[in-house]
Structure 1
Amino acid sequence: MTTTTESDAGTLRAAMVDALTADGSLTDPAWQRAFRDVPRHLFVPYFYRQGADGRQQRISGDDPGQAGEWLRSVYENRPLVTHLIDGNAASSSTQPSLMAVMLQALGELTTPRVKEIGTGTGYNAALLSRRYGHDQVVTVDVDPDVTTAARQRLAAAGYQPTVITADGAVPAMDGPAFGAIVATCGLDRIPPAWLAELADDGVIVAPLGSGVVSVVKTSDTEATGGFLATPAYFMPLRAEGDSGIIRRPALPDGDGRRTELGVGVVVDESFRFLVSVALGPLGWNYELADDGRPVGACLWDGAGSVAELRADGIVCEEGPRALWSDLEAVHRLFVVKGRPARDRYGITITAGEQRVWLDDPDGPRWLLPA
């Protein structure tokens, strides 16, 4: 990077931290120092954005015609797609405000040793290394291309955490217990093996459904906690050879029926969270009008079930599950319970099951997939 780029990056980075501090996302002085010190642009030398033709376009700091846009984008409060598989987004640099909220949710660790699941660009591992020391940080990703690039970027920035290529759902190494595990990939349940790696009273902060859960270990096989208020949409945790993409089947072609749910209801953030917990992992897309308003929606479960809400208000369903009917039932509960936000939900993990509950462990609850 040129001296000019480094100077501009420092100015933009300071402005980003000031903005995150002002909006309440970044309030802890120790994490403020980490965000001020760690150069995000070294970890995101390029990113992808969707062009007008629907194809992914690469925006790179090495391209003189793109360098200005690239650097400004890197220090904006936005997620950036950084890795593709078959043209689909497979890894990204998380939105900085969400990173800040999740890192601060770790709290004051009695055991300052942290494992990160989902290395991505390496930026989050660098922040953890700046906060706790690189000898206290282990970061894991299943994709060797991702870990190789992250390892190189971390070294260039002066950080040397342990970077491992492995399935993040299982233990990757022997060693002392971790005070915390933080995941930057989407989950539909907390991998039980993570509890075994945690010290007593260890913390897990991880995306679950379309929210972020913070749980504390209470025994070797048990934990309890709640959800943060912030929305969160992450690339799913992937096993080796898994793209993480939920493939959409062909759209239903029947006559359909009228539905009690309009597209405005379906895009409601709080409702989408409950759907992500109650119905499990789903694929979604929206039909947009010329002005960008959603006028239709489609969802599918990856097991052959699909539902489409058309712009005329007719919904069609096909497959083993009546997905839209399930959606309507969840919405009725959502309304009865006062349209709850994410932070009204909790989670209980035992050796036999994991369940999310609303307001109270004895209230409405949903078992997570085994």
Structure 2
Amino acid sequence: MTTTTTEHTAARLRNAMVDALTAGADLTDSGWERAFRDVPRHVFVPYFYRQGPGGRQQRIAGGDPEHAAEWLHAVYENRPLVTHLIDGNAASSSTQPSLMVAMLQALGDGDVRVKEIGTGTGYNAALLAHRYGGDQVVTVDVDADVTTEARRRLDRTPYRPTVVTADGATPGTTGGPGFGAIIATCGLDRIPAGWLRELAPGGVIVAPLGSGVIRAEKTSDTEAVGRFLATGAYFMPLRQPGDSGIIRRPEVPTGDSRTSPIGTDAVVDEKFRFLVSVALGPLGWQYDLGDDGKPTGARVWAPDGSIADLDPDGTVRETGRRALWSELEAAHRQYEANGRPSRDRYGITITAGGQRVWLDQPDGPTWTL
């Protein structure tokens, strides 16, 4: 595929992707529509990884004639693409465009200074620079390999945000306070307290929390309050220096079992799993699949080594400091008692002293993060 052919095809596919996002009412803001039509995603995703033969990650690159067509079409489909591996495990990705749209539109209008946590490929930073101007955008990533590649790709475009290699959870490394918005493109189990200090009065935080996305506005020097968007979100976790972000699975328990009142139908319920993601913190999951592709059994484990194993017969075994399946059962009782709430019924209050997620109103049912 020649360079001219690639650029022509990419423009056609990019416009088709944006047309689909606008037709589906995902993309409603004209300023962000222009950004998505102008910024070339393929420049920022020159390759991605997918599962190949034997379960190994296979690199699909635009520079490989065998995969060039597959690569370009995938780049302009509405799906996430794994772009960076650590020890063979996914560590960074290019976010699904419809989710990017939801988060970017949540930032609001105006001439604001924006800090992005999680540079990734640089694509989201380029979109921010298109909308707000490169001098208004700072993007941060903990991985020097990631930021080096992002700078190189940004240099091929007109978009010039400031790219910083730093721990995104730590304030003070990116030019001081006064940001009108902080947007994160990495998964969090709580909002770093220092972000409040970096926000200007009335500034907003748009960030993945659990398997949802919050939009919180700074209401005072020590508080931000907001709600979850309706959309789901599954991001690579925010990593500290030297951390892979992977929760490794402990040995499966082999002790006594008991019958559980909830089975795989509960733990694959997306709305329930959202509550689990904020109430129980970060967890690892694994499923056994039947011939029809539906889960028949499940494993769930925590960073402290606790693990629970649900067998296809509905019995469960638990081991470790936390009785994880018992925690799931308690969360499910709350979920049922409150009418199986969707994400947009939840809100969040962030203060210097702590954070809590609440249902419907700040004085409703509460989960401390």
TM-score in same-fold range (> 0.5): yes
Asked if residue 251 in structure 1 is aligned to residue 252 in structure 2, the reply is yes
How far did 1:24 drift?
1.5
The aligned counterpart of 1:335 is: 336
* Residue aligned with 1:156, SS: coil
* Residue aligned with 1:53, SS: helix
Deviates more, 1:178-187 or 1:308-317: 308-317
Conservation of the 8 A alpha-carbon contact between 2:257 and 2:316: yes
Could you tell me how far apart the structure 2 residues matched to 1:122 and 1:306 are? 36
The aligned counterpart of 1:126 is: 126
The aligned counterpart of 1:363 is: 364
Conservation of the 8 A alpha-carbon contact between 1:248 and 1:283: yes
How far did 1:23 drift?
1.2
Could you tell me how far apart the structure 2 residues matched to 1:6 and 1:129 are? 21
Conservation of the 8 A alpha-carbon contact between 1:192 and 1:221: no
Pairwise CA RMSD: 1.0
- CA deviation vs aligned residue, 1:40-77 (integer Å, no higher than 9, x gap): 00000000011241111111111001000000100000
1:84 aligned partner, one-letter code:
L
Asked if residue 162 in structure 1 is aligned to residue 162 in structure 2, the reply is yes
Asked if residue 279 in structure 1 is aligned to residue 280 in structure 2, the reply is yes
The aligned counterpart of 1:71 is: 72
1:230 aligned partner, one-letter code:
T
Conservation of the 8 A alpha-carbon contact between 2:91 and 2:244: yes
Conservation of the 8 A alpha-carbon contact between 2:138 and 2:174: no
The aligned counterpart of 1:28 is: 29
Could you tell me how far apart the structure 2 residues matched to 1:186 and 1:224 are? 19
The aligned counterpart of 2:42 is: 41
* Residue aligned with 1:3, SS: helix
How far did 1:173 drift?
2.4
Conservation of the 8 A alpha-carbon contact between 1:306 and 1:317: yes
The aligned counterpart of 2:106 is: 105
Taking structure 1 as reference, are residues 52 and 311 closer, same or farther at Cα in structure 2, changes over 3 Å only?
farther
Q: Which runs of 5+ in 2 are unaligned?
A: none
The aligned counterpart of 1:115 is: 115
The aligned counterpart of 1:84 is: 85
Could you tell me how far apart the structure 2 residues matched to 1:235 and 1:350 are? 25
Asked if residue 198 in structure 1 is aligned to residue 185 in structure 2, the reply is no
- CA deviation vs aligned residue, 1:17-40 (integer Å, no higher than 9, x gap): 011111111110000000000000
The aligned counterpart of 2:146 is: 146
How far did 1:175 drift?
4.2
How far did 1:176 drift?
5.7
The aligned counterpart of 2:292 is: 291
Could you tell me how far apart the structure 1 residues matched to 2:104 and 2:174 are? 23
The aligned counterpart of 1:301 is: 302
Could you tell me how far apart the structure 2 residues matched to 1:56 and 1:346 are? 38
The aligned counterpart of 2:311 is: 310
Percent identity of paired positions between Structure 1 and Structure 2: 72
TM-score by length of 2: 0.98
Could you tell me how far apart the structure 2 residues matched to 1:285 and 1:15 are? 36
Could you tell me how far apart the structure 2 residues matched to 1:6 and 1:296 are? 46
* Residue aligned with 2:330, SS: helix
- CA deviation vs aligned residue, 1:329-351 (integer Å, no higher than 9, x gap): 10011001000000000011122
The aligned counterpart of 1:10 is: 11
2:212 aligned partner, one-letter code:
G
Could you tell me how far apart the structure 2 residues matched to 1:23 and 1:285 are? 32
Could you tell me how far apart the structure 2 residues matched to 1:244 and 1:97 are? 24
Could you tell me how far apart the structure 1 residues matched to 2:22 and 2:293 are? 31
How far did 1:203 drift?
0.5
The aligned counterpart of 1:219 is: 220
- CA deviation vs aligned residue, 1:280-306 (integer Å, no higher than 9, x gap): 111112111233211111110110100
Asked if residue 177 in structure 1 is aligned to residue 189 in structure 2, the reply is no
Could you tell me how far apart the structure 1 residues matched to 2:174 and 2:23 are? 40
Conservation of the 8 A alpha-carbon contact between 1:251 and 1:308: yes
The aligned counterpart of 2:137 is: 137
Q: Which runs of 5+ in 1 are unaligned?
A: none
Could you tell me how far apart the structure 2 residues matched to 1:96 and 1:18 are? 12
Asked if residue 345 in structure 1 is aligned to residue 325 in structure 2, the reply is no
Could you tell me how far apart the structure 1 residues matched to 2:5 and 2:176 are? 43
- CA deviation vs aligned residue, 1:137-184 (integer Å, no higher than 9, x gap): 100000000000000001112221100000001122234611100000
Could you tell me how far apart the structure 2 residues matched to 1:77 and 1:227 are? 22
1:137 aligned partner, one-letter code:
V
